Amino acid sequence: MIAAWERLASATVGGRPLAATRVLYAIGALWLLRTDHRRFATGFDPDRLHLDWPLVGGHLRGLPPTLVEGAWVIGALLLIVGIVPRVGAAAVTLSAFAFYAVDRQHYGNGGYFIVLIGMLLVLADSGASATPWGPDRRRASWWPAFLLASQLTIVYLYAGVQKFRHSSLTGDTIAWQLHGPLVDRIGWSHLPVALNLLGGIAELFCAIALWFALTRKLAVVVGVILHVGILCFLRWSPDMAAFAFASWSLYPAFWAASGPLAEELARWRAARSPADPAPEPVRRSATA
């Protein structure tokens, strides 16, 4: 087992999946910045009322909003073009953290996910390939790709399990969020229950199926439908749109993360299977 983890720790993967993650993440980060742009002017104003986070307190108040916003944009552009992407990921992460940490009222699931993925992209060599479709400049380490993919698995597993609580199965947790022309057109009284159940099944399926080559493409389709359905059926939230982009950006990481794991699984199965018995020599009869 220790030898297997040592091989995985030193394993390398192609750079194109991580390049796709890098580009999709940058698009999601720019979308989130666009939706939060109007709050930047007052978000760091020390004269405004802020709800402070523990530890951070009011230390971030008074930062120039243009500095934070500019670092965010430059970091996202560096990620898109693939030039010093670790610096770009760090710039986006620090800028987003500053904006969400200065006031608890700024918090959202999309912003949290952007910060977390950005931290992992600082560790990953997402510039090993300049583009998602071009040749690799070099091989990238496997373990950052594994951390990226595992993060989405954790999120989907947690969200999926939560949808099978009693309060969720009754539809109460999403009934108040249903909004939009699709809801009005369908007009089914059990729609909250059905959407909750379908969402939970989809999240649990994606959490597992993304790891396997046979089911990965189907899981990507299901995941896209899941997030589009959330945006179409629930009350519109730019933060949830950013969360969808951030989730989609992690799908390519499974192509990179699953390969070495599959090789180790095949090696483990081969070691456990009994060796084929040697054929017995043919004995000739004495009368032959």
First to last CA, the chain: 54
Does the pLDDT value for residue 114 go beyond 50? yes
pLDDT in tens, 23-56: 999 999 999 898 887 777 777 777 676 676 677 6
Rounded distance, CA 26 to CA 20, Å?
10
Does the pLDDT value for residue 269 go beyond 60? yes
Position 110 scores a pLDDT of: 85
Rounded distance, CA 99 to CA 44, Å?
8
Rounded distance, CA 144 to CA 124, Å?
5
Q: Which residue's structure tokens are 């008074």?
A: 62
Position 276 scores a pLDDT of: 52
Answer for the pair 126, 250: CB distance below 8 angstroms, yes or no.
Answer: no
Answer for the pair 162, 36: CB distance below 8 angstroms, yes or no.
Answer: no
**3-state class of 158 per DSSP?**
helix
Does the pLDDT value for residue 58 go beyond 80? no
Position 49 scores a pLDDT of: 64
Query: Long-range contact list for 143-146, CB < 8 A, 24+ apart?
Result: 143/8, 143/9, 143/11, 144/18, 144/120, 145/13, 145/17, 145/18, 145/253, 145/256, 145/257, 146/8, 146/257, 146/261
> Could you tell me the pLDDT band of residue 288, with boundaries at 50, 70 and 90?
very low
Amino acid residing at 73: V
Answer for the pair 238, 35: CB distance below 8 angstroms, yes or no.
Answer: yes
Closest by CA position to 92, among listed 108, 109, 116 = 116
Q: DSSP state, 171? A: T
Answer for the pair 238, 287: CB distance below 8 angstroms, yes or no.
Answer: no
Closest by CA position to 10, among listed 266, 255, 263 = 263
Indicate the range of 84-98, 150-164, 267-281 predicted with least confidence.
Answer: 267-281
pLDDT in tens, 163-208: 998 888 887 778 777 876 677 777 777 888 889 999 999 999 999 9
Rounded distance, CA 15 to CA 94, Å?
25
Give the ranges where 44-169 is alpha helix by DSSP (H). Answer: 65-81, 85-101, 109-123, 142-162, 166-169
Closest by CA position to 205, among listed 172, 244, 160, 241 = 160
Mean pLDDT of 265-283: 67
> Could you tell me the pLDDT band of residue 71, with boundaries at 50, 70 and 90?
very high
Amino acid residing at 36: D
Does the pLDDT value for residue 2 go beyond 90? no
The DSSP line for 203-240 is HHHHHHHTTSHHHHHHHHHHHHHHHHHHHHHBPP-HHH
Amino acid residing at 196: N
**Inter-CA distances, 267 with 89, 137, 262, 263, 275, Å:** 35, 29, 9, 6, 14
Tokens of 229: 């359905």
Position 278 scores a pLDDT of: 52
Give one word for 141, left, alpha or beta, with left for phi > 0 and alpha for psi -120 to 50: beta
Q: How many CA atoms lie within 13 A of 92 on its CB side?
A: 36
